[in-house]
Amino acid sequence: MTALRITPLDLLHRRLGARMIDFAGWSLPVKYPTGTLAEHRQARTAAALFDVSHMAQISLHGDAAADLERLVPGDIKNLPMGRQRYTFFLNEAGGIIDDLMVAHHPGRLVIVANAVRTEADLGHLDTSGIAREHHHDRALLALQGPQAANILARLGHEAAALPFLGITTCAIAGIGPCWVSRSGYTGEDGFEISVPASDAETLATRLLAEPECAPAGLAARDTLRLEAGLCLYGHDIDMLTSPIEAGLGWTIPKRRREALDFPGATTIHDHLVNGPPRLRVGIRPQGRPPARAGTDIAALDGTQAGIITSGTVSPTLGAPVAMGYVRRDLAEDGSPLVLLVRGQRLDAHQVKLPFVPHRFAAR
C-alpha cells in the first residue's frame, strides 16, 4: 500500500477538525465538525469552500485544439478564448475514459480531470502523442453557493464578473495569479480557483474568513452533485457507458456528429440514430430508505430494468433520490419502477433531472 497523497491544504483541514478519508489515493476531508447536512445547506444558501486539489490540472500548450479533438467528441476548435467546456476522453467502443473540463487560456488549453482517472488520462495523452504539462504545483479550490459571487466581488472583482463557464487569470485577495472559472459541481453559482500550491492555504484562509463562507467536505460535494443530477465518474459514467446513454449527447456538436472523427464514433452514431440500449434517468424512491449504487431496478412486470448508480437522501428534499440506468423502452418521466433494496421491493418513479434546479450565473 502506498502512502496517501496530501493536498496543500492538509494542515488547514486538520486544524479545522476535518475527518479525513482516502479518496482515489488522496487524503481528503469527508466532513468538518458541522457535519454534511450543514455543509450541504451552506452551499445551497450561502457559500461553501471545497478543496478539490486532488483533481488533475493539465496544460496542453500551443494550438492544441485539433490534437485534443482527436480524443474527445466536443467542440474544442471553436471554444473561444476565456471559455470552458465539458467533454470526455472516449475509448474506441464509445465508452468514457474520463469526463473533463477544458478551458481555453491564452496560448494553451487547461484540462481539469478526475483524480481517480489521472494516470489513465496522462497515459492516454502520452500514447496519443500529445505533449502535456501536469500541474503538480497548483491547488484547486471550489467556492460554491449563491453568495460566492458576492465574496469574489470584494476580493477579485474581475473573477466576479465572469459569465457561467467563463475563465480568467487574476489575483484573488492579492494572491495569485489564480486561474478562475465560473463553474462547479453543485448546481449552484460558483467558482473554481486554481492557485499556486504555496499560496493555497493563505487563499483558503482568506476565503474562509468571509462571513458567508464555511468549509465543506466530499460527502456534501456528493449530495450536492447528485441533487444537481451531475455524473460521478466510476459510478454514473465509466468505460462501459457512452455519453448518449448518459444523456450527455448535448456535449457533441453537429460538426462532430457529421464528421464522426473521434474515438468510438461508430457506437455514438449508432446510439444517436437507433437509440442507446439504456438511458440514465432520475429516480425518486417512495418512502424513506435510500436506494444506493448497485441496487437492482425491475420493471412492473418483474423483468430486469437496470441498476442504480448513485443514491442518497437529498438534504434539500428530505427524501431519497437516485440516478441509474434503465432499458430504453422503460425510460420515461413519471413512469414507475421497482427497486430491490435489501430483499424488499420499493416503489419508485422516474423524474426529470436535476432534482434541485440549477442556479448557475448567466452565460
Partner 1 sequence: MAETRYTKEHEWIRLEDDGTLTVGITDHAQDALGDIVFIELPAVDRDVVEGETVATVESTKAANDVFAPISGRIAEINENVVEDPGLINRDPTGEGWFWRMEPTDEDAFETLLDEEGYEAYLETL
Q: Which residues contact partner 1 (rule: CB under 8 A)?
A: 19, 30-31, 35-37, 40, 219-220, 222-223, 288-290, 292, 312-313, 315, 320, 342
Which is nearest to 71 in space by CA: 57, 88, 84?
A: 88
Give the residue with the Cβ less far from partner 1, 30 or 340: 30
Give the residue with the Cβ less far from partner 1, 35 or 62: 35
Element housing 112 (H / E): strand 108-113
SS3 134: strand
Give the residue with the Cβ less far from partner 1, 73 or 290: 290
Secondary structure letter of residue 66 according to DSSP: H
Min separation Cβ 304 and partner 1, Å: 22
CB atoms within 10 A of CB 184: 27
Min separation Cβ 222 and partner 1, Å: 7
Give the residue with the Cβ less far from partner 1, 31 or 280: 31
Min separation Cβ 45 and partner 1, Å: 17
Give the residue with the Cβ less far from partner 1, 9 or 226: 226
Min separation Cβ 2 and partner 1, Å: 21
Give the residue with the Cβ less far from partner 1, 134 or 235: 235
Which is nearest to 169 in space by CA: 141, 149, 195?
A: 195
Min separation Cβ 227 and partner 1, Å: 11
Q: Which three cell numbers stand for residue 61?
A: 500548450
Instruction: With beta carbons less than 8 A apart as the criterion, state whether 192 and 140 touch.
Output: yes
Min separation Cβ 342 and partner 1, Å: 7
SS (H, E, C) 282-335: EEEECCCCCCCCCCEEECCCCCEEEEEEEEEEECCCCEEEEEEEEEHHHCCCCC
Helix pair angle (218-227, 36-45), 10° resolution: 50
